[in-house]
Homo-oligomer: A and B are copies of this chain.
Amino acid sequence: MIQSSESSESLTIADIARLAQVSVSTVSRILNGKPDVAEVTRQRVLKVIHDTGYSPDVSAQRLASGATVAKSRVITLLFPMDHAEFTQLELDFFIGAAASCSKHDTFFNLMTEPMDADHLLNLFRSGQTDGVILMQIRMDDWRPELLTRHDYPFVMIGRTSDNQHYRYIDLDFDAAVETAIGYLVEQGHRRIGFIARPASARAQQIGPSVRIMSGYQRALERYRLAPLYREVKLTVPDVYEATLELLDEAPELTAIFTVHGASSPGAIRALRDRDRLVPDDCSVVALATERIAQLVTPALTAINFPTDTMGYQAATMLINALQQPSAPVEQILLQPRLAVRESASTPVGAT
Contact = CB atoms under 8 A, between A and B. Distances in A.
Interface stretch (A248-256, A293-301, A323-331): A293-301
A93 B54 CA distance: 32
A127 B88 contact: no
A56 B128 CA distance: 10
A121 B10 CA distance: 11
Interface in A54-73: 54-60, 62-63, 67, 72
A150 B92 CA distance: 34
Interface residues of A, number: 57
A322 B342 CA distance: 51
A220 to B, nearest CB: 30
Copies in the complex: 2
A110 B128 contact: no
A50 to B, nearest CB: 9
A164 interface: no
A265 interface: yes
A5 B128 CA distance: 21
Given A8-B151, A118-B53, A265-B295, A107 B128 contact: yes
A310 to B, nearest CB: 15
Interface in A1-56: 1, 5, 8, 10-11, 53-56
A5 B150 CA distance: 8
A8 B122 contact: no
Contact of A112 (B98, B269, B292): B98
A102 B108 CA distance: 15
Contacts of A126: 55-58, 72
Contact of A95 (B58, B91, B121, B150): B91
A176 to B, nearest CB: 21
B112 A109 contact: no
Contacts of A107: 109, 111, 128
Interface of A: 1, 5, 8, 10-11, 53-60, 62-63, 67, 72, 81, 88, 91-92, 94-95, 98-99, 102-103, 107-113, 117-118, 121-122, 125-128, 149-151, 236, 262, 265, 268-269, 291-292, 294-297, 299
